[in-house]
Structure 1
């Protein structure tokens, strides 16, 4: 009976701790979103900069306001990410061994680094190139008019997609470090991975060949770079052993 009571107490304690962490994370996201809304005009100036002076319209009365809310919420999540990640870390840390704690901290830090790299790459290179490509496809008598909501949706999908796919090196590094895969494994399945990259690009990006190709090519380069890093880690592990 004591064991059952102890088990219930442990579960209740864990649920209480989880509830506490979720509340703090939610408050951080709400606060970040409200703060972002105060600067939404400046945020929009940054978002429309890759469009290179193109004019935008909105098609329904609430469209612009809803877009403002969405932008504020997304930026609020980004701004509050350190607090949210810290809450996740505080919740899972007691159940991890010292070595596992180092791996998780490394994964969190490098995950943020690769995410930022992907977003920056998409913002400064991919988005301007794709927009200019589509604008140049116009013909006489047809001027490009962009719905602001559709533009925000388009660049959001590009930024998020590239932020996610730039996590590929981290996944390869962790698999190698944990001994779940070797460089030979990644080389052996290279063709299947490249095929999977094009499939993922088709799913994550807007339905056009240009955006899909612009994502697939950097992913292939990242995969090859990941194999080089995995080979270095594998050799170091063999020396340490």
Structure 2
């Protein structure tokens, strides 16, 4: 049954309200476990001593952490509400493809966050700590540390979506494998530019992001090429049968 514009807007409002309430509840629950969250967040920099520079700074940092964790924890509910909203307008095949795409996007995003948390952040922190001297000791503002690792985690989460993005573009015939291979030099330059934009303004973080981006790009080309060859082979077989 086709819905009217008013019905669509009512359905959208309903889904948005559920998502908003769920996120708020998730943030409130997360705040109850702020001590546990702080231990997890500061684990990659356990050798550091943190300070806060103004009376409300620490409290605001706690609020920020609770909101972010609340959004992440309730992400399955958010995606489910989005799915319920768009599901009526999709065919059976489109629903299956969208579910697979969403699932793989979440997996790649989580892989990027895990990689940044266990590999990139500890390396980056150790590099900056080694720069200290007897006269200059490292004292990090907790709020700045939260901003620093948040940008790295989000950046690497988005970076690990590259294989899925390239695969999607090639499957939709928006770009071809041969075009990507011919433009490799320019794309490598673009990767370094993107790494410089997404990461904090230091060459170490930028280099640590550019390296996996390059590997993911090459991996994307290999996977897309394999799928493209398989697709062409299937078309040739079907054409041979028809003839």
Q: TM-score higher than 0.5 here?
A: yes
CA distance, structure 1, for counterparts of residue 230 and residue 172 of structure 2: 13
Instruction: From 218, 228, 242, give the equivalent of 1:224.
Output: 218
Question: Is 2:199 the partner of 1:191?
Answer: no
In structure 1, C-alpha distance between the alignment counterparts of 2:175 and 2:17, rounded to whole Å: 38
Matches within 5 A, 1:9-158: 10-158=4-152
Structure 1 residue 53: Cα displacement = 2.4
CA distance in 2, matches of 1:148, 1:222: 32
Once residues 147 and 218 of structure 2 are traced to their aligned partners in structure 1, the CA distance between those partners, rounded to angstroms, is 31
**Per-residue deviation at 1:194?**
0.9
Alignment size in residue pairs: 234
Where do 5+ consecutive residues of structure 2 fail to align? 236-243
Per the TM alignment, residue 36 of structure 1 is displaced from its structure 2 partner at its CA by 0.5
Q: Cα offset for 1:107?
A: 1.4
The Cα shift of 1:240 comes to: 2.4
Asked if 1:240 is matched to 2:205, the reply is no
> 1:179: how far off?
2.7
For 1:139 and 1:204, the matched residues in 2 are separated by 29
Residue equivalent to 2:238 = none
Q: Which runs of 5 or more structure 1 residues have no equivalent in the other structure?
A: 1-6
Q: Displacement, 1:103?
A: 2.0
- 1:208-240 CA distance string (max 9 Å, x none): 111111101110000000001101111121122
- Paired position in structure 2 for 1:204: 198
Work out the CA distance in 2 between the residues paired with 1:181 and 1:240.
Answer: 20
- What CA RMSD, in Å, does the superposition of the two structures yield over aligned residues? 1.2
The residue aligned with 1:215 is 209
Check conservation: 1:115, 1:167, Cα contact below 8 A.
yes
Match of 2:163 among 166, 169, 194: 169
Runs of 4+ in 1 over 4 A off after TM superposition: none
Q: How high is the TM-score relative to the length of structure 1?
A: 0.94
Secondary structure of 2:24's aligned partner: helix
Q: CA deviation at 1:181?
A: 2.6
Deviations 1:141-184 (A, max 9, x none): 11100100000110000000000111000101112222333321
Deviation at 1:186, TM superposition (A): 1.7
